[in-house]
Structure 1
Amino acid sequence: MISHFLLVFGLLATSVAIADSTPLSRNPASLDPAVIAAASDTPANLGGDGVVTITWPRTDVPVTVDGLKLPPPAGLGSWAAFMPTPDGAMVMGDTVVFQDEVDAAMDAAFAHGLEVTALHNHFFYSDPPVFFMHINGQGDPMALAQGVKAVWAAIRSVRTQRIVPGRHFPGGVPVPGHLDAMAISSALGLTVTDNHGVLKASFGHTSSMGGMTIGGTSGLTTWIALVGSDQQSVADGDFIMYGRDVQVVLHALRHAGFHIVALHNHMIGEKPVVYFTHFWGKGSALDLARSFKSVLEAQAVSESKNNLKEN
């Protein structure tokens, strides 16, 4: 579970570079849909606005929503749109993922320099539960298309191994037992509270909304909760992030072995904008605590670097 936070930055350095601000007078070249189609191994369509799109209807897994067998055109289609930019292209997309596909899809996106910008649901009462992972990237059009191809291929690989989407993460269900609060607090570097056998640590962040400062007691809290025993526990929690640090935290969570189960907003209109990512992990309590600490360290380095840039 434990992974040194500096590995995050080595991986990020291989990402598709985000272009610096570009003068609006530079006219972007048009994109060749044949190039996108070949690189993504998916038929591509060129729209009248110069945007090239590719799609993948999820016909491989039947989904019912509120008792209705939902046809893919009703919202079960993955897509990616490529827009020409002065320095290459920008891709935005939405990928249909079942719960056991998220890790593989996200890891493939990161490995190919794509950013994950949201992970959430679009439906209630779906069976199997279906989620949507939004991606973004800028750079060479062919590399971006190959990145999308890799994400979709990773999903197909999961379904090849297991036709029916899984219903739980690997590993057994922890049995409640003794948790060493002092050792876990030391590993986290945070004060731990014990609430009926659940160990929890948290700390607040700040933003502003409507002219008021909002902080941890108003919901801007990074936290981790541990349930189980010293030998086998589950950890869940939430990371509060400013936009510039989101990708660093996501990469660090995956390097540390955590499953990312949501990435979204909780508010509208706050400054700076705050994002929330929820996670789940299994393992020994100390390993989970140390892994959480490694993510905190990666986030702290990112925040420090960004503060230096701003100053």
Structure 2
Amino acid sequence: MGNINIEDIIGESKKSSLCKRFAKILGAEVLESRRDLCVVTFNRDLDVEILGRRTRSPLVLGALFSFENMDKCGKTLNLGETVILQEEINPFISILRENHIKVTALHNHWLFENPRLFYIHFESIDEPLDFARKVAEALKVLKC
């Protein structure tokens, strides 16, 4: 049986706690939390139809956020993606940009959906809780 490294256990516990705090700020649930990665998610509460059929799929309504690769200054690679309504795009992007978060993609995923949906991707190198607070500010412009 291998030796248990107490530093690994303490580090894992701190990372898990940090991931939970990250999720709480974003109003999300922890999807995955391990030493080198934190992924959190929530689904938007939107009434959407694709091909005339109502959908509640996380493939359509999901938002995902993650952080990983903490450096010695406590900064991480932070990533985000969320479904966004057309009329929410400009105010959402404005807040992200004011907070020095790079918008890296804006595109559709589906055809024949109602209402029209887009998906926005964004990234930064920042302290993970600071990133979460900045994104949470932008999320306030979303309808649901």
Could you tell me which residue of structure 1 aligns to residue 106 of structure 2? 119
Larger Rg: 1
In structure 1, runs of 5+ residues without a counterpart are 1-28, 161-311
Please tell me whether residue 152 in structure 1 is matched to residue 139 in structure 2. yes
TM, length-normalised to structure 1: 0.38
Query: Could you tell me which amino acid in structure 1 is paired with residue 63 of structure 2?
Result: S
Query: Could you tell me which amino acid in structure 2 is paired with residue 62 of structure 1?
Result: D
Equivalent-residue separation in structure 1 for 2:25 and 2:43 (angstroms): 19
Could you tell me which residue of structure 2 aligns to residue 51 of structure 1? 37
In structure 2, runs of 5+ residues without a counterpart are 1-10
Could you tell me which residue of structure 2 aligns to residue 33 of structure 1? 19
Please tell me whether residue 80 in structure 1 is matched to residue 65 in structure 2. yes
Preserved CA contact (<8 Å) 1:56 1:77: yes
Equivalent-residue separation in structure 1 for 2:57 and 2:68 (angstroms): 25
Post-superposition Cα deviations, 1:185-224, rounded to whole Å, max 9, x if no partner, equal xxxxxxxxxxxxxxxxxxxxxxxxxxxxxxxxxxxxxxxx
Equivalent-residue separation in structure 1 for 2:106 and 2:69 (angstroms): 25
Preserved CA contact (<8 Å) 2:102 2:124: yes
Identity of aligned residues (%): 21
The runs of at least 4 consecutive aligned structure 1 residues that moved more than 4 Å come to none
Post-superposition Cα deviations, 1:222-252, rounded to whole Å, max 9, x if no partner, equal xxxxxxxxxxxxxxxxxxxxxxxxxxxxxxx
Could you tell me which residue of structure 2 aligns to residue 235 of structure 1? none
Equivalent-residue separation in structure 2 for 1:127 and 1:49 (angstroms): 40
TM, length-normalised to structure 2: 0.77
Could you tell me which residue of structure 2 aligns to residue 198 of structure 1? none
Indicate the RMSD between aligned Cα atoms, in angstroms. Answer: 2.1
